[in-house]
Amino acid sequence: MKKTFVSVFALVSLVLLVHPCWAAEKTPAGPSDVLTLTGHIANAQGKGIKEVKVEVFVDGKAVHLADELVTRDGGNFQIKLPFPQGSLPAAKVEMELSKPSYKSSGRIPVEHVLEDHKDAKGNVYFISHVDHVLHRAITPAFWIATLVLLGVYVLIALEVLHRTLAAMVGGALMLLISYTAGTFFPNYFILSFEDAIKAIDMNVIFLLMAMMIIVGVMKKTGVFQWLALKSFEAARGNIFALAAVLMFVTAVTSAFLDNVTTMLLITPVTIEISRALKVNPLSLMLPEVFASNVGGTATLIGDPPNIMIGSYAKLSFVDFGENLTLICLIGLGASILYYLWYFKKEYKKAVVGDVREMANKLREDYKITNMKLLNMSLIVLGVTIFLFIIHGALHMEPSVAALMGAGALLVLSRVNIVEMLEHEIEWPTLIFFMMLFVVVAGAEETGLIQVIADWVAEVSKGSLVIAVIMILWVSAIASAFIDNIPFTATMLPIVAYLNTVIPGAESGILWWSLALGACLGGNGTMIGASANVVTVGLAESMGHHISFMTYMRMAWWPMMITCALSMAWLLIVEI
């Protein structure tokens, strides 16, 4: 028994002596040289790359570490290597970097090994730093991510699947491939679950959810229908004035509240007014939805693309107001003039009748139903907007202000929270956003976004003017046929990169190009923006069918006009 124990002990000792991990990590007896090797690994755009595998070689032999060394968030790493005393800096130290979807770096010599200090025990400490750029590789993961992203776009544009389902399937497919084929073949790995979760911008999700709650409570007061009634009274029976006032009211309301909800509430009133005037409801409804998108472009919270841009680029409510409000007012004025001209024959058919009698009739159906709740809602909304205005100075995310406003309004109004969560929050929209962030993150991780960004930078040849024009018009045309939300999500990292490589772009003008193109371009077709889809659906439920081409015929040219005005504004005023 004793001999057996001695044999086992000897065997274990032998294994430990020859085991490479132990051999690599042991500290030489007595004083030694210690090299602290640090580095920063970035992509071609200068953005740090995490989870890059770092292998170290000394005099051509690999240093085996107990734990795999990978870069942290931001692309940084640090390692301490012990050497026999006197061997540094003469020893040949090299490193090799590798990560799926990137080309291997090959052996990189570690140069400039400098003495740092010497301690009381005689150990001499050296330090060296390595910065390196890893370049993308076109791998199977790249093509899979590209096909999935395009597939999601096609399914959404052709309405084969609900947009939420299309995004969910796309995101789930990327993760499934990563954890099946990607487990055995690294070049098939697209995105980790942890990175997918980090890609979801919860500032956007919480801001949308909170604003839905605030609007949901305000709906109970009848204020939106009351605004439509007041618009009718202000027009005094003049249908041209009525159309202009309705557009203006819709635009202003949409700048501070959800434009989808605004159209949901104002459309029934508009149809009622158009029936009384005996005009085609489309002659009032379509200008309204157009105005809702123009007005929503003016503020951080007015349209989902702006919420996404503001969160990604850390732009404040004031930033949007200062740079977009005036051009949106100009665009709104041009839109009003265009539609008054376009529908003039229809407006001339209006049978006005007794304006006072009709106003009295509408007043019975569309009035403030809860004045106390309306007052509370306006106070809370005012405080929330004030917090939006100062959130940049407080370094506070806009969603915090919105969540506080929603919570305060729910407490004060005593509205049933379960009812609000079930009926007022558009969960399909929020889930769509979440899964869309995952799909775009997969495209970014595999290099697709970088390829597109490099192409735009190459075509623009470093010209800020060309970049502004390209981003505006590509965003506008694409957003007309693809929902502007997924398009904006795809463009965010591209614009962020262009801001770093095009002289003058640091002013943020490219963000305004994207916002104007995506929001105004969404006006071009019935599927370009969520408000369009909702309005068309509501009109059809009330017996007024709108075909794709009919909508496009009525909206395409004013969309082009507003985008052209925006381009002129950016080139003349902003540059």
CATH number of the CATH domain containing 122: 2.60.130.10
Average pLDDT over every residue of 35-64: 87
Average pLDDT over every residue of 40-67: 84
112 and 72 within one domain: yes
Q: Is residue 410 included in any domain, yes or no?
A: no
pLDDT confidence tier of residue 169, bands split at 50, 70 and 90? very high
**pLDDT for position 292:** 93
467 and 341 within one domain: yes
**Nearest C-alpha neighbor of 188 from the set 179, 196, 199, 200:** 179
Task: Indicate whether 289 pLDDT > 60.
Answer: yes
Q: What interhelical angle do 317-342 and 304-313 show, nearest 10? A: 160
563 and 460 within one domain: yes
Is 387 or 8 the better-scoring residue by pLDDT? 387
**pLDDT for position 174:** 96
Pair of tokens at residue 524: 């071009």
Residue 570 contacts by C-beta under 8 Å, 6 or more apart in sequence?
Answer: 468, 472, 509, 512, 513, 516
Task: Name the average pLDDT for the chain.
Answer: 84
Q: Is residue 247 included in any domain, yes or no?
A: yes
Identify the domain boundary among 133, 149, 168.
133
**pLDDT for position 320:** 92
Is residue 499 within 8 A of residue 505, CB to CB? The reply is yes
Is 425 or 288 the better-scoring residue by pLDDT? 288
Name the DSSP letter for residue 236.
T
| Rounded-to-integer distance, Cα 569 and Cα 415, Å | 45
**pLDDT for position 7:** 54
**Nearest C-alpha neighbor of 51 from the set 194, 148, 170:** 194
161 and 284 within one domain: no
Name the DSSP letter for residue 314.
T
Identify the domain boundary among 115, 133, 151.
133
Q: Is residue 105 included in any domain, yes or no?
A: yes
Identify the domain boundary among 133, 163, 191.
133
Task: Indicate whether 551 pLDDT > 60.
Answer: yes
What backbone phi and psi angles, to 5 degrees, belong to 125? -105, 130
Lowest mean pLDDT among 21-30, 95-104, 174-183, 469-478: 21-30
**pLDDT for position 29:** 57
> How many domains is the chain built from?
3
256 and 305 within one domain: yes
Bond prior to 100 in cis (omega within 30° of 0): no
Is 139 or 112 the better-scoring residue by pLDDT? 139
343 and 492 within one domain: yes
Is residue 250 within 8 A of residue 290, CB to CB? The reply is no
Instruction: Report the run of H or E that residue 572 belongs to, with start and end.
Output: none
Is 481 or 99 the better-scoring residue by pLDDT? 99
Query: What is the largest distance, in Å, between two alpha-carbon atoms of the chain?
Result: 115
**pLDDT for position 218:** 85
Is residue 563 within 8 A of residue 521, CB to CB? The reply is yes
What backbone phi and psi angles, to 5 degrees, belong to 42? -130, 165
> What single-letter amino acid sits at 405?
G
478 and 339 within one domain: yes
Q: Is residue 109 included in any domain, yes or no?
A: yes
243 and 113 within one domain: no
Average pLDDT over every residue of 248-272: 82
> What single-letter amino acid sits at 81?
L
pLDDT confidence tier of residue 266, bands split at 50, 70 and 90? confident
Q: Is residue 404 included in any domain, yes or no?
A: no
Q: Is residue 490 included in any domain, yes or no?
A: yes
Alpha helices in 96-201 (DSSP H): 140-157, 163-179, 181-184, 193-199
The sign of the torsion formed by the CA atoms of 226, 227, 232, 234 equals positive
470 and 344 within one domain: yes
**pLDDT for position 336:** 96
Domain housing 144: 140-199
pLDDT confidence tier of residue 28, bands split at 50, 70 and 90? low
464 and 341 within one domain: yes
Q: Is residue 395 included in any domain, yes or no?
A: no
Lowest mean pLDDT among 166-170, 243-247, 251-255, 420-424: 420-424
**Nearest C-alpha neighbor of 332 from the set 296, 301, 300:** 296
pLDDT confidence tier of residue 15, bands split at 50, 70 and 90? very low
159 and 76 within one domain: no
Q: Is residue 51 included in any domain, yes or no?
A: yes
| Rounded-to-integer distance, Cα 521 and Cα 337, Å | 19
339 and 295 within one domain: yes
